[in-house]
Structure 1
C-alpha cells in the first residue's frame, strides 16, 4: 500500500502513515478519536476495503492491524504510532465530555461557514446564530454567554484594526491614491455587529426576529414566602415570590 487514502476526500497521503492520516482528518475534517457517525459510519476505503466503523478510533485500529501490517509497515515506527494512538485514546476518553462540547461548537461554526459561501457577509446574523447555539447548551449560563460575547467583540475589533493597518501600509507602499485608501477604510467602519446583543432580553428579541426560536409560555402556579438578604441591613427579610413553570407549545415546534 503506497499510503493511506482519506475515505472522505479520497486524498492519498504518500507515503503517509497513520499519524499523517490522523492529522489530515483532524485538520481538514474536524474528526477526533471519539467522533462517531451511527448512520453512515466510517468506511475504510483502503485497497477497495469496505469495512465500516461507527467510531473513528476503530477505523484507525483496523488500518493499523490489517492494511499497514500487510504492507510490512508495522515496524518500530508503527508500534510507536500504536502506542501514541492508545495514549491519545485514553486521554480522549478522560475528556470525552469536553471533546463532545468542542465537536458541537465545531459543527455549528462549520455550518455557519458553509452558509457564508456566495452570500453577502452579515456578521450580526451569524452572531445571532452563535448565540442561539450557546443558549441551547445547558452548561452555558447567561453570564458566561455575556463574557464570551465581550471577548469575541474585543477579538474582532483587534483583528479588524490590525488588518486595516496592514492593508493601509501596503496601499501606501504601492503609492495608491488617497481616495482609494479612504474607500477601502470605509469597509472597516461597519457598525458594531455585537450592538444590542449583550442583554438577555435583546438576545431573545434577536432570536425571535432572526430564527425559529419559540418563546416558552410561563404559567403561574401560586405564591410562596421566601427569605432574601437585605444588603443594607445585612438581615434576612420575608418576600413573596411567584412559583411558575414554563413549556414550549408542541403545535409550534
Structure 2
C-alpha cells in the first residue's frame, strides 16, 4: 500500500530525510529525483542505490488507520481466494495519482526483469484531469512476454465464454459469502463471478445477462438465514433450490 495523499506526505518527508544522509553515494539520476520524486529512488537499478533504498523507512509504518484497514481487507480477500503474495513495502509506481494499492505480478521464468504486470489504484487520476476524485484501477502488462510464458508453460489461449454461474448478493454480510463461494468454485476449475461493486440486485442481474452467465444465484438475508438458495438457468429459466454451499452448486453445474 502507498497510503493516501495525507499519510504518504509524512512518509515522503521521512524518505527525503533518509536519502539526504546518503545522497553523496547515490547515482546522478537519484540525486535529481530526491526533490522531484523521491519515491522513484526506490525503483533505481543502480546496485549502490538499491542497497541504500533497502534500508529506507517502510511505508507501512506511516499509513493511516483507514488505509491500514483497507490493506487488511485486501489481504483477507487474497487469502480467501488462495492467492499467494509477498508484501513488498518498496514497490512504487511512477505517477503521483496512484493511491493505496500497488502491485506487480512476477514470473520466475520471465528473465532478468521478472515483472510481467504492474499497476494499482488510480483514485486521483480523474482529479488530475480536472474532475472530482473517482476510484479506479489499472495496470500495464507486457503482452508479448505473457504469450511467451504461456507457450513455455504449455498453456493454450482459451476461447472466451460466459461464466457457469454469477452469484448476486444483497446486503453487506452476503458479499463475503458470495466471494468465498466464488473463490471455492474457481479453485475447482469452475468459471464463476460475483459483484464486487455492491450494486443493486437489478443492476447485478443485468450485468450477469450482459456477460452471458449461464446461471445466477442470489444471496440475501433470507438465504443466509435458511441456508438455502435458488439457482436459475438463464436460458431455460428453470429454478433449482439447493443448500448454500459450494458442493451443492457444483452438483447442479
TM-score by length of 2: 0.24
Greater share of residues in strand: 2
Q: Greater relative contact order (Cα 8 A, min sep 6): structure 1 or 2?
A: 2
TM-score normalised by length of structure 1: 0.24
Larger C-alpha radius of gyration, 1 or 2?
1
